[in-house]
Structure 1
Amino acid sequence: MAFSAPSLKGRALRLLSQREHSRPELERKLAKYEEVPGTLALALDELAAKDFINETRVVQSVVNLRAPRMGAARVRQELLHKGIAPEAVAEAVAALRETELDRAREVWARRFGMPAVDMKERARQVRFLLARGFSGEVVGKVLGSTRRA
C-alpha cells in the first residue's frame, strides 16, 4: 500500500486542531507544501468559508492565553506577527490597557512578592516587567507602589 502525503487542506486542519491560526500564519506554514500555484489559496478559502479560519477567534485565543502574563505591547506584537488586521489588533490592545496595571501587579507579585532592596534588584524587576510588554508608566506605578516606606 502506497502512502500519500497529506493534502494542503489536511495539513491546515491538523494545524487548526492544535490551536487557532490566522490565514497568513497558515499560508506561511503551508507554502512549502504547495505543488500547484493557487491550490493553497483555494484550500484556505474553503476552510475560511466553513469558519475553520476565524480572525476573531485567533484574537480571543491570543488575548486569553497571553494577557494574564504579558502586557499589551507583547500581545500587540504577537497579534501583528500572526497577520491580524491592524484594526482588530488596536481594538484588542485598547481593551487590555484598561486592566494593564492590575495584571502587571499580579505578574510582579507572582515573580517577586517583595519590594527591591537595592537599585540592582529594582533594575532587574523593571527589566522583567518591560520584557513582558508592560509599559514604562505601568512598571513605574507597580514598583512605585511597592517601595518601602
Structure 2
Amino acid sequence: MTKLPLSLKARALNYLAQREHSRQELARKLARHAREDDDIDALLDSLEAAKLLSEPRFAESLVHRRAARYGNHRILSELQSHGIGGEALDAIEAGLKQDETVRAREIWRKKFGSLPEDAKERARQARFLLQRGFSPATIKAVLNYDIDDGE
C-alpha cells in the first residue's frame, strides 16, 4: 500500500507540532516539497491568522532553549538569522542583558569551577565564554579579570 503525499499544510502542521518555527524557516522547509501551483506565503499567512505560527512565540522558545548554554551575542545572532528583527529583537536583547552575568557564571562554574591559576588558564576560560557568545564585559565580571594582570 503506497502512502499518499502529504499536503503542504499537513507538512507545516507536522513541523509546528514538533517545535516552534520562524516564518522564514518554515517557508524554507516547505519550499522543498512545494509544487508550482502551491502558494507558500498564503499558507503561512493562514497559519499566522489561526495563531499556529507566531514569530514572538518562536523567539521566546529559542531564547528559552538557548539561554542556559549561550550568551546574548550568539542568541541574538541566531534570532537575526531566522528573520527576527526590529523592536522584537530590541525587547529580547533588553531582557537577556539583565541576567547575562548570572548565566555566564553558571556555565563557567559547571565547566571550570575555580578561578584560573595563571594567565594561560584565564585566557582558556575567557575563550570558552567568548565562543559561547558572552560579551567581554561579562567575561571580565565572571573571571574577575584584571587587564594589567593579563599578559
TM-score (norm 1): 0.91
Task: State the superposition RMSD in angstroms.
Answer: 1.6
Name the counterpart of 2:67.
67
* Distance (Å, rounded) in 2 between the aligned partners of 1:3 and 1:136: 54
After TM superposition, where is structure 1 displaced by more than 6 Å over at least 4 residues in a row? none
Structure 1 position 42, deviation (Å)? 1.9
* Distance (Å, rounded) in 2 between the aligned partners of 1:88 and 1:125: 32
Structure 1 position 86, deviation (Å)? 2.7
* Distance (Å, rounded) in 2 between the aligned partners of 1:127 and 1:78: 20
* Distance (Å, rounded) in 2 between the aligned partners of 1:48 and 1:85: 18
Name the counterpart of 1:32.
32
Structure 1 position 43, deviation (Å)? 1.6
* Distance (Å, rounded) in 1 between the aligned partners of 2:19 and 2:53: 11
| Residue 125 (str. 1) matches residue 125 (str. 2) | yes
| Residue 100 (str. 1) matches residue 100 (str. 2) | yes
Structure 1 position 37, deviation (Å)? 4.7
Name the counterpart of 1:52.
52
Q: Unpaired runs of 5+ in structure 2? A: none
Name the counterpart of 1:42.
42
Identity of aligned residues (%): 45
2:133 alignment partner AA: G
TM-score (norm 2): 0.89
Structure 1 position 38, deviation (Å)? 4.9
* Distance (Å, rounded) in 2 between the aligned partners of 1:102 and 1:51: 34
Structure 1 position 93, deviation (Å)? 1.1
Name the counterpart of 1:10.
10
2:80 alignment partner AA: L
Deviations 1:54-84 (A, max 9, x none): 1111111011111122111111011111111
Structure 1 position 7, deviation (Å)? 0.9
* Distance (Å, rounded) in 1 between the aligned partners of 2:117 and 2:26: 48
Q: Unpaired runs of 5+ in structure 1? A: none
1:30/1:118 CA distance change after superposition, 3 Å: same
